A and B are shown apart, each in its own frame.
Chain A
Amino acid sequence: MKYLTEFRDGEIAQRLAREIRAVTTRPWKIMEVCGGQTHSIIRNGIDQMLPAGVEMVHGPGCPVCVTPLELIDKALAIAAQPGVIFCSFGDMLRVPGTEGDLFQVKGRGGDVRVVYSPLDAVELAAKNPDKQVVFFGVGFETTAPANAMSVHVAKRRGLKNFSLLVSHVLVPPAIEAILQAPGNQVQAFLLAGHVCSVMGYWEYPPLAEKYGIPLVVTGFEPLDLLDGIRRAVVQLEAGRHEVENAYARVVSYEGNRGAQKQLGEVFEVTDRAWRGIGVIPKSGWRLSAGYREFDAEERFRIAGIRTQESPLCHAGDVLRGAIKPAECPAFGKECTPRHPLGATMVSSEGACAAYYNYGRFISAEELARAAS
């Protein structure tokens, strides 16, 4: 395992960890929202540098994990149609639907392409006027400006053969859903740095106020994460609940106003189903009326999709932070990355996969605590 101490910043990291230990007087549970942060925390052993009572709880911020199975099945159905060029990021290629994955659809003759940017898909549409080009647009606020611009460009260029299979999800409603869940134990959040590079953090003060929780905008690198955790603990210990920016070199309060304007034009807020969690009101974006003609779900009208999740899987509890992956009875037994039962094990950004891959199995101490 590549621990933080092996990096050049080991000394600063140790200092930050010492500061966290010095201010901590009692146990705290802090959730990092973003899957990339979960990975960085586990990979760098950051959770193991923290004092015993300070616990990192892993949040629902993995775009692959929370994409509903039904939408993946729709993607597979569309990609298999003749005359369709189906474009996606590489992440989604081997994510299974009810039957197979996009890579298998390609193997059976479907025209599935991996693109770097949704604008590449727009180019493909321009070059292939006799084909329908569909881009699989999932993700959080970070990815949404790219998809919004691609649809905008397609409209400006008069491309009638481009569409977006879209399921964007939003961080603030997910945080609110976690805080409202019965038995919630999360006392502070690390906000996802790159989401905030787009959205800023002006949306968050009302949440901090309403629920009395510290919210710290945090980056992805080991020192960023330690600093974010330190600031959250300092606030908790002082009884403060503010929105704080620990990633100021990238994130401003306003965020990217140009991107927000484009998002407001192309998308509108909608209820979204989160895999493993269920429907969260007003938690996503869909194409607005002016751009609805580019909605792949409208264009292809795929019907008859039936999906079923495993009854053994506790992904929803993991995504809400109610349990740690290793506390799930199926973890590492019925459920492994090779045979995942739920979304959090499917994606490598998922908390269960991160635990599995870095050998984080339940310790005797954790087991005793879980049983008590």
Chain B
Amino acid sequence: MRGAYNCIVMCLAIPGRVEEITTDGIIRVGRVNFGGVVKRVCLDYVPEVEVGDYTLVHVGFALSKIDAETAEQTLEDFRALGVLEEELASEEEQLARAAERPQSNCPDGSCEIERS
């Protein structure tokens, strides 16, 4: 059933812990840790967020601050469902996955799961 959540990049936001905050001259940027994977994230939309806080991140943008307990629980659920792996895959991983898939209209290769 791996891959069932492959294609929800545009739907879901993932919680992460802010480890560092800087600015690039135009926007406020942070390094955010998503259960071990660290990404560069724009923090402009969450001016209230400080180092150590948890925030909900969608395609590299923090959208809201959330409490640590909620964040950790959601992270755990998303990890169990394979969502983290899919959301945070590198370009190489994503291209490799696309290459493995048959020429198919199905974005996530879930068509491999045949009718049972």
Contacts and interface: CB of A to CB of B under 8 A. Distances in A.
Given A114-B94, A256-B45, A91 B61 contact: no
Interface in A314-372: 332, 336-340, 345-349, 353, 356-357, 359, 361
Given A119-B42, A250-B56, A353 B9 contact: no
Given A93-B95, A146-B59, 8 more contacts: A7-B77, A35-B11, A92-B107, A115-B91, A116-B39, A142-B58, A149-B42, A345-B105
A1 B113 CA distance: 12
Contact of B58 (A63, A103, A194, A357): A194
A114 B95 contact: yes
A93 B93 CA distance: 13
Contacts of B51: none
Contacts of B46: 256, 258
B9 A89 contact: yes
Nearest to B1: A2
A348 B4 contact: yes
A125 interface: no
Contacts of B81: 2, 43
Interface in A84-107: 89-96, 101, 103-104, 106
A249 interface: yes
Interface of B: 1, 3-13, 26-27, 39-42, 44-47, 56, 58-61, 63-64, 66-67, 70, 74, 77, 80-81, 88-89, 91, 94-95, 97-99, 101-108, 110-111, 113, 115-116
Contacts of A361: 115
B11 A250 contact: no
B4 A357 contact: yes
A45 interface: no
A156 interface: yes
Given A349-B7, A359-B116, A337 B110 contact: yes
A166 interface: no
Contacts of A270: none
A140 interface: yes
A98 B15 CA distance: 37
A157 interface: yes
Contacts of B40: 117
Contact of B94 (A1, A90, A156, A221): A90
A61 B10 CA distance: 10
A91 B111 contact: no
Interface in A139-171: 139-140, 142-143, 145-146, 149, 153, 156-157
